[in-house]
């Protein structure tokens, strides 16, 4: 029978106390995701999970009943774990967990919550960071670390089956929940995302709001065999970033959520600390890439806990190509009248 997550992390941690702290934290987090998976599986039998409870920490997004439940399950699971502070999409500021502990955890407890009442895949995203020396761990500043500082990151998708994708900085591993045993079991030790694929994910309804260069890139894809790519593409859009990420983990492709001209979207929409950072780590560790259009996501340093960012991730060849459209002359200079215009993803 396939190895459990506990065994996998035990082998990785060995006798190293620092790694064992990460192991303990990851097991606590994933225990909480099993509880969330059970609630998700009940659907309306568990109550009105899509009921609006308020707005998120920055006042933009609706906060649903399941958002709140998932957040509480994750926080409660970390009590007693070696985690000094917990930061969540659902709270304005970090909260204390275990004083003096060596780690920080940042989470999006329930990604894709607009899909709760339609039985479409949703998920949980998490990031584990070191608690920095000389900084109050229960402050926003404690989380202002470059993405490459992450000690571990992952997501869980609640779909037809519940899957965990995890990195501890040594490749990206894929697990599936064994509901009978109450354990995640290893499916693939080192995921490798295909370098090229014929799928892209973007919300085409926002086409008119995008930067000209991004529009040019997507229009080239839409031309299929008759365009410069000379390939017919399929488009996907689930409105659940973690579901899009899982599809790319399995079969490649590219996901784009750019900034655009609408109010509240000019700096991007997804959160850097607990959405973009963990996904970027998983992508890079699986041989793929993640960028804001100019800079690798993992090289960015947050200035706010709930900072938003444009996000493009997926098969490296695809990410490199769209970055070329957005930042350099490359192959589009001769044919694009837009070359002389400002071509960035952020306003």
Catalytic residues: 61, 67, 89-90, 108, 110-111, 275
Round to whole Å and give the CA distance between 229 and 241.
25
How is the beta sheet containing 173-178 ordered, strand by strand? 95-96, 83-88, 103-111, 122-130, 152-158, 162-167, 173-178, 183-188
Round to whole Å and give the CA distance between 217 and 206.
14
Strand partners of residue 183: 178
Tokens of 1: 């029978």
H or E segment at 167? strand 162-167
- 94 backbone dihedrals φ, ψ, rounded to 5°: -65, 160
Is 78 labelled a binding residue?
no
Is 108 labelled a binding residue?
yes
Is 257 labelled a binding residue?
yes
Ordered DSSP codes for 87-122: EETTSSS-EESSTT-SEEEEEEEEETGGGGGGT--E
Q: How do 122-130 and 152-158 pair as beta strands?
A: antiparallel
Cβ distance 271 to 215 under 8 Å? no
Count CB atoms within 10 A of the CB of residue 325. 23
Burial 180-189 (b: 16+ CB within 10 A, else e): eeebbbbebe
Round to whole Å and give the CA distance between 65 and 59.
16
Is 133 labelled a binding residue?
no
Cβ distance 257 to 241 under 8 Å? yes
Is 255 labelled a binding residue?
yes
3-class secondary-structure state, position 270: strand
Round to whole Å and give the CA distance between 313 and 256.
7
End-to-end CA distance of the chain: 52
Binding residues for substrate: 111-114, 203, 255-257
């Amino acid at each position: 029978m396939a190895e459990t997550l506990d065994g996998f992390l035990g082998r990785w941690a060995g006798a190293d106390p620092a790694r064992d702290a990460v192991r303990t934290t990851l097991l606590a987090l994933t225990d909480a995701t099993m509880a969330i998976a059970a609630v998700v599986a009940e659907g309306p039998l568990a109550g009105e999970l899509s009921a609006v409870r308020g707005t998120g920490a920055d006042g933009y997004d609706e906060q649903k009943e399941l958002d709140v439940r998932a957040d509480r399950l994750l926080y409660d699971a970390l009590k007693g774990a070696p985690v000094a502070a917990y930061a969540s999409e659902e709270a304005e500021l970090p909260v204390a967990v275990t004083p003096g502990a060596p780690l920080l955890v940042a989470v999006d407890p329930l990604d894709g919550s607009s899909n709760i009442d339609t039985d479409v895949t949703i998920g949980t995203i998490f990031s584990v960071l070191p608690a920095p020396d000389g900084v109050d761990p229960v402050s926003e500043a404690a989380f202002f670390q470059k993405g490459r500082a992450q000690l571990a990151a992952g997501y869980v998708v609640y779909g037809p089956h519940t899957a965990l994708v995890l990195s501890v900085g040594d490749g990206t591993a894929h697990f599936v929940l064994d509901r009978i045993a109450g354990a995640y079991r290893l499916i693939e030790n080192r995921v490798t995302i295909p370098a090229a694929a014929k799928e892209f994910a973007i919300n085409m309804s926002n086409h008119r709001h995008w930067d000209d260069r991004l529009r040019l890139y997507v229009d080239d894809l839409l031309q299929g065999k008759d365009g410069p790519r000379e390939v017919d593409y399929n488009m996907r859009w689930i409105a659940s970033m973690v579901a899009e990420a899982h599809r790319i983990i399995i079969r490649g492709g590219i996901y784009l959520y750019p900034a655009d001209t609408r109010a509240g979207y000019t700096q991007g929409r997804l959160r850097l600390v607990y959405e973009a950072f963990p996904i970027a780590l998983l992508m890079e560790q699986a041989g793929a890439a993640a960028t804001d259009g100019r800079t690798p996501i993992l090289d960015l340093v947050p200035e706010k806990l709930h900072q938003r960012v444009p996000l493009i991730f997926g098969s490296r060849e695809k990410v490199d190509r769209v970055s070329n459209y957005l930042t350099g002359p490359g192959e589009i200079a001769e044919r694009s009248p837009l070359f002389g215009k400002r071509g960035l993803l952020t306003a």
